Structures are given as C-alpha cells and as structure tokens.
Amino acid sequence: MAGKKREIQLQAVINNQSLRDEMMQNKGLTVIDVYQAWCGPCKAMQTLFRKLKNELNEDELLHFAVAEADSIVTLQPLRDKCEPVFLFSVNGTIVAKIQGANAPLVNQKIIALVNEERKIAAGEMVRPQYHEIAFVDSDSEDAGELNYESVDQIYTIVIIKPDAVAARKVQEIKEKINKAGFVIEAEDKKPLTEEQVKHFYSQIVDQPDFEDFVSFMTRNLSYILVVSQAKAKQPSWDESEVNSETESKEPWDEQQEMAKPSRMKERKSLQQYLEIQQISQFCDVEENITNTKFIDVLIPDFKKIRGIKFEKILALLRPALANERTEDVLNKIQDEGFKILLQRQIVLSEEEAKTLCKEYENKDYFGNVIENMTSGPSLALVLVRENGLGHWKQLIGPSNVEEAKEYLPE
C-alpha cells in the first residue's frame, strides 16, 4: 500500500473536467500522462518521473499528473489511442505533445522546459510566447496534423560556423551528412541575430566569453541546416552505378533501397558521425528536436518548406560541358532553385554510355554520342527542388531536333 501511496503523490489523478481545469492553474511545468480507461497510466514511465522529481528538486516548478481521456471533455480527441500520450503544460498552456513511451525524448523535454522555467524565474530570459497545441479528433480528416510532436518527427539542427563557411567547408559537410543517410530538410545562409545565437546556445550563456562569441556569430555568415534521418538508406556513390536509361531521373529506386549494407544497420547519431569524420569542430549540433517552434526561431519558413513536395533527381553533365563551363552550369542550376546535394566526377565505360543513351541507338549519330560520353570525366549531380524532375526537363529543353524547332523556332 505504501508503494501505491507514493505513486499517487507523484502523479495527481485527473478524472474529470473540473480537476483538469484546476490542474491547469499549476505554475511551472506539468507533465500529463493521458491514458485510456482500458489500459491505465503508463507505468513504464513512472520510474523516470520519480527520478527527475528527485534530481531536479523543483516542487514548485515540476508537477506530474495522469488523466483519463474518456472522462475529460477537452482530452476526448485523444481517446482510443493504442499508445500513451504525454502532454507538457507550462502555466496552463499545452506547449508540447509526445506520442509513445519514448523515455529519452520525454526526459529531454522535461529537463529543457524546467531549465527554461528556472531562467525565467531568475530573470535571465523572457518567457517565450507559446502557442497552444490544438487537439484534433482521431476520426476527423485533419487527424494527420495531430502528430505535431510525434516521435517519428525528430530533427537535428546543424550550424556550420562562420570560420568553416569562410574556409569553404560547407559543401564537404553537407555531402558527408547525406552520405551518412541523413536528409537535409531545409537550409539557410545568413549571419545569426543575437536572439538566435542566445536561443541555440542557451546552455553556454553563462560563460565569460559568450558576448564575444555572440558578436562573432552575428557579424559573419553561418549555414543553418535542419536534418532528419532518412527512412530508407540512400546508396552512396560507391554502392550504386550510373547506368540508367536517361540522363536525368529520380535517383534511388526500390531495388537500390533494398540493398542495405550491414554496416548501416546500427546508425550513429549525427554528432558521433561528424566526430568520426573529424569535421565536428566546424559545426555545432542540437539533436532530438521534436518541437518545430525551436526550429522556427532559426528558419521562420520551416513549416512552409516542410509542406512543399521536394524531389531528388540524378543529373549528368557530359564531358564537353563539364570541362568547359562547369561553373556557369552549376550557377545556372542553382539560380533555377535547385540545391546541389552531391556532385562527383565519373568516367563512363562504353557499355555504361550505351545503356545511358539507349534511346538514341537507332540514330545515325549514336556512335558520335558514345564517343563524346566516354571522352573524359562527366559530372554527376544529385539535385533537389520542388517538382524537381519537371523543372529539370523544362530547364534542359527538348531532347530531339523536331521538338527543339517547335520549342525555339528561330
């Protein structure tokens, strides 16, 4: 019975709307385990909650509660869930939600919000303007919006520091991130504002040279990357061959994605990977970000960018073009809104060139095309853009003389 009593003291029991409204008057952070009547609260997380309660020692700032979804009107959109849902309320505003008993994420979220409350109480920072998360009924058409902080939406922010930008390390770092199986969801190049520096580097604001660091970061260009982990392994250049039937296509088909080398099964964190690659000194990394509000401070258009359908394509610049006008062509590609994720010089064999140019094999000039394609290094590019394949086809123009005459009569 003593154990049961401690459990009730650790988490307040909320089983009606009135108690829920009373609980929302709590000052500081309240972590609410929303459960279903048929399964009860998530006991697996109670050890973590008790540990945090003891370690943080913040009885005035940190509270825990359990709430039955079916018996509380405002929580009924969360009913009939087969996994626990944890809500994070700060001074009565629901600011975050995590689905699933993901202890590391919940632990990180609690520590971050408690530290924030401590700084606010000490006058070291202004309280953020939180926007309360709206719940959507699971049967509604917009239920997909509910997973705002779902555990499968985890991002990493990478800031490539000004000295690395000046040393032209950006492309190398981006290529290594992509080769490791991560996806760059959004990026921006700009000097950070003082607010953004203090937001991202909040853990070192007490260091004596922090003001000098702020000055350095606000006077020079940085690269901000929002990175996610790819759901399927993208083959590296060493694992795939450029022997496609066209010069531009979506680069990773189902057969390639099935060929996952065993060394990639245990994927390291991005921070660990950058350390192994000996480039971690050029950038700062914040991992396991589930709240896009944190990202919005650095890239305000992130939600809009995330909603756009981007396509990756594999393009090949023929030897003559790659050797004579590489810089002009790459500038034109980027001016058209493409981002260059990867680039590498390759030399095609005759067999590869014939496969690549198969559509011209019955033309009189086929031999000349193959000779041209094997005459030196071609430049292979992985590009990304909204509606990438369609824009690329429009950019390169018609593929035969007849269509070209209609396209440009003069």
pLDDT in tens, 283-335: 998 887 766 677 888 888 776 666 656 677 888 888 888 777 788 888 888 88
Q: What pLDDT is attached to residue 242? A: 36
- Give bridge partners of residue 228 from the DSSP assignment: 155, 183
Q: What pLDDT is attached to residue 159? A: 94
> Which structure tokens are listed for 113?
């919000």
Closest Cα partner for 181 from 243, 263, 102?
A: 263
- Same domain for 296 and 158? yes
In this prediction, what percent of the chain has a pLDDT beyond 90? 10
How far apart (Å, rounded) are the C-alpha atoms in residues 10 and 4? 10
Total residues found in the chain within this entry: 410
How far apart (Å, rounded) are the C-alpha atoms in residues 35 and 44? 13
pLDDT-wise least confident of 123-132, 168-177, 345-354: 123-132
The pTM of the whole model exceeds 0.85: no
Q: Where residue 335 sits, what CATH number does that domain have?
A: 3.30.70.141
CA distances, 24 to each of 12, 148, 372 (Å): 12, 21, 72
Phi, psi of 341 (to 5 degrees): -80, -40
Q: In what order do the strands lie in the sheet with 93-99?
A: 11-14, 62-68, 29-35, 85-90, 93-99
Give pLDDT tens digits for 134-153: 554 444 333 333 333 333 46
- Same domain for 159 and 142? no
pLDDT: is 159 or 247 the higher one?
Answer: 159
- Give bridge partners of residue 30 from the DSSP assignment: 63, 89
Q: How confident is the model at residue 237 (pLDDT cuts 50, 70, 90)?
A: very low
Q: What pLDDT is attached to residue 160? A: 93
pLDDT-wise least confident of 46-50, 77-81, 271-275: 77-81
How far apart (Å, rounded) are the C-alpha atoms in residues 3 and 165? 57
Q: Integer distance in angstroms from the first to the last C-alpha of the chain? A: 91
Give pLDDT tens digits for 189-232: 889 999 889 888 888 888 888 899 999 999 889 999 988 876 54
Mean pLDDT on 112-130: 83
- Same domain for 217 and 244? yes
DSSP 287-356: EEE--HHHHHHH-TTHHHHHHS-EEEEEEEE-HHHHHHSHHHHHHHHHHTT-EEEEEEEE---HHHHHHH
- Same domain for 337 and 263? no
Query: Is residue 88 helix, strand or coil?
Result: strand
Mean pLDDT on 127-135: 65
pLDDT at 31 exceeding the cut of 80: yes
Q: What pLDDT is attached to residue 340? A: 84
- Same domain for 322 and 296? no
- Same domain for 212 and 350? no
Give pLDDT tens digits for 333-343: 888 888 887 88
Domains identified in the chain, total number: 3
- Same domain for 272 and 180? yes
- Rounded to the nearest integer, the mean pLDDT of the chain is 76
Residue that finishes a domain, picked among 106, 125, 146? 146
Helices (H), 85-209: 103-121, 162-166, 170-179, 194-200
- Same domain for 141 and 177? no
Residue that finishes a domain, picked among 128, 146, 164? 146
Q: Where residue 268 sits, what CATH number does that domain have?
A: 3.30.70
Full domain range(s) for residue 334: 309-410
Q: What pLDDT is attached to residue 313? A: 84
Closest Cα partner for 298 from 388, 227, 354, 397?
A: 227
Give pLDDT tens digits for 256-277: 333 333 333 444 688 888 888 8
- Same domain for 290 and 324? no
